[in-house]
Amino acid sequence: MASAAAVSFHQTLPPPLQHRRLGPTPPRCTHSERGVSFDPGSAFYRSESAPGRDLAVLAATIHRRRRLDPSGPFLCLDAMCGCGIRALRYLAQAGADFVWANDASDALRPVVVGNLSRFEPEPLDGQRRWVVSHLDATRLLAERYLRREYFDVIDVDSFGSEAEYIRAAFLALKIGGLLYLTSTDWRSARGYGGKCSLSSYGAYVRPVPYPNEIGLRMLLGGAAREAAMLGFHITPVFSYYAYHGPIFRAMIQLRHGKEDGISNYGFICHCKSCGQTQTFGFHELGQISCRCADRTVGCHLYHSCRPTLDRSSP
């Protein structure tokens, strides 16, 4: 699948990257995030989301140092870049050799190009460090896969419950690479969007007392399902819940081959009588019961990652 080594972008750039980059005068800096100056322009920007970007930069930095081939180019792709602050921080702080910044709105091009131009006004020795495009995220990721261009880090800062990009992101990701997922689907996490969560993440969520955790498990479970269908499996790096929005984020690492069994993917059952929670595997369906009674009780059931998929260590 996507396990081949990444191509050298400096030598075999596809036609879209060969176009001459515009060199406008960078707009006046109006914001600064962790020492990186930028102009958000008309793009949606939230300073409250800075901790999520901090974690992404930290994970990318550690991954760059620990990857199997540390001498190769470190390539990052920001599929929904907005004003470009994530891409800019990957360049300035994570040590990325090349960043692809994409946003579906071409109206943001002057803003994104202006911000990235602050880091590198002109290419050095003809080697470009960044490129800006304006494509649908799924199409962009699929095209990178078809061109055999694989990235070390792919960041998709999506809105709502959009999850169709996850499979395409796995295909464009190197084996061992990091995928940063985002969801703002709070209705599904709270059990009010069962059909939506079922179609997006393969999870039918019921209302439970811990919706913030469920939102993260729902996101991880959907990613685990997509990876398994492609013959891969995932390892969570960290998961992060932010109250504003609210926003559910998860950084995962793509691993080659399917895991034995389905021990990390199953059900969570919450008892409405005593309030206790238990986990069950698929082989235990039909045998679900609560310790507070000798009979099967009415429980809230939904697909979810089991506890072993909720590790928080980078």
Assigned domain for 194 exists: yes
Q: 113 is in which domain, residue-wise?
A: 34-263
Phi, psi (degrees; rounded to nearest 5) at 117: -65, -20
**CATH at 233:** 3.40.50.150
pLDDT score, position 36: 93
300 has a pLDDT exceeding 60: no
2 has a pLDDT exceeding 50: no
State the CB neighbour count (10 A cutoff) for residue 181.
24
Assigned domain for 109 exists: yes
Phi, psi (degrees; rounded to nearest 5) at 138: -65, -40
307 has a pLDDT exceeding 70: no
pLDDT score, position 118: 84
Q: Find the range with the poorest average confidence among 5-19, 173-187, 275-289.
A: 5-19
pLDDT score, position 306: 41
Assigned domain for 134 exists: yes
How many domains does the chain fold into?
1
With H, G, I as helix, E, B as strand and everything else as coil, classify residue 181: strand
With H, G, I as helix, E, B as strand and everything else as coil, classify residue 107: helix
Residue 229 and residue 185: Cα distance in Å, rounded? 23
Q: What is the DSSP string of 41-68?
A: TTS---GGGHHHHHHHHHHHHHHHHHSS
Non-local CB neighbours of 21 within 8 Å, separated by 6+ positions: 113, 123, 128, 131
Q: Find the range with the poorest average confidence among 136-145, 201-210, 241-250.
A: 201-210
pLDDT band at residue 1 using 50, 70 and 90 as cut-offs: very low
Assigned domain for 181 exists: yes
Assigned domain for 296 exists: no
User: What are 75-96's pLDDT values in tens digits?
Assistant: 999 999 999 999 999 999 999 9
User: What are 150-162's pLDDT values in tens digits?
Assistant: 999 999 988 766 6
297 has a pLDDT exceeding 50: no
pLDDT score, position 267: 84
> Residues of the chain with pLDDT > 90: what percent?
44
With H, G, I as helix, E, B as strand and everything else as coil, classify residue 109: helix
Assigned domain for 293 exists: no
pLDDT score, position 147: 97
116 has a pLDDT exceeding 60: yes
Assigned domain for 303 exists: no
Tokens, residue 254: 């793509």
pLDDT score, position 161: 65
Residue 242 and residue 51: Cα distance in Å, rounded? 9
> Taking residues 245-260, what's their average pLDDT?
87
User: What are 125-170's pLDDT values in tens digits?
Assistant: 667 899 999 999 999 999 999 999 999 999 998 876 667 889 999 9
With H, G, I as helix, E, B as strand and everything else as coil, classify residue 142: helix
Query: Torsion-angle region of residue 123: left (phi > 0), alpha (psi -120 to 50) or beta?
Result: beta
Query: Torsion-angle region of residue 299: left (phi > 0), alpha (psi -120 to 50) or beta?
Result: beta
Residue 67 and residue 27: Cα distance in Å, rounded? 36
Assigned domain for 270 exists: no
User: What are 206-225's pLDDT values in tens digits?
Assistant: 888 888 998 898 889 889 98
Q: What is the DSSP letter of 123?
A: -
> Residues of the chain with pLDDT > 70: what percent?
78
Q: What is the DSSP letter of 56?
A: H
Note the maximum CA span of the chain: 74
AA letter at 132:
V
Query: Torsion-angle region of residue 245: left (phi > 0), alpha (psi -120 to 50) or beta?
Result: left
Q: What is the DSSP letter of 202?
A: S
Phi, psi (degrees; rounded to nearest 5) at 151: -115, 155
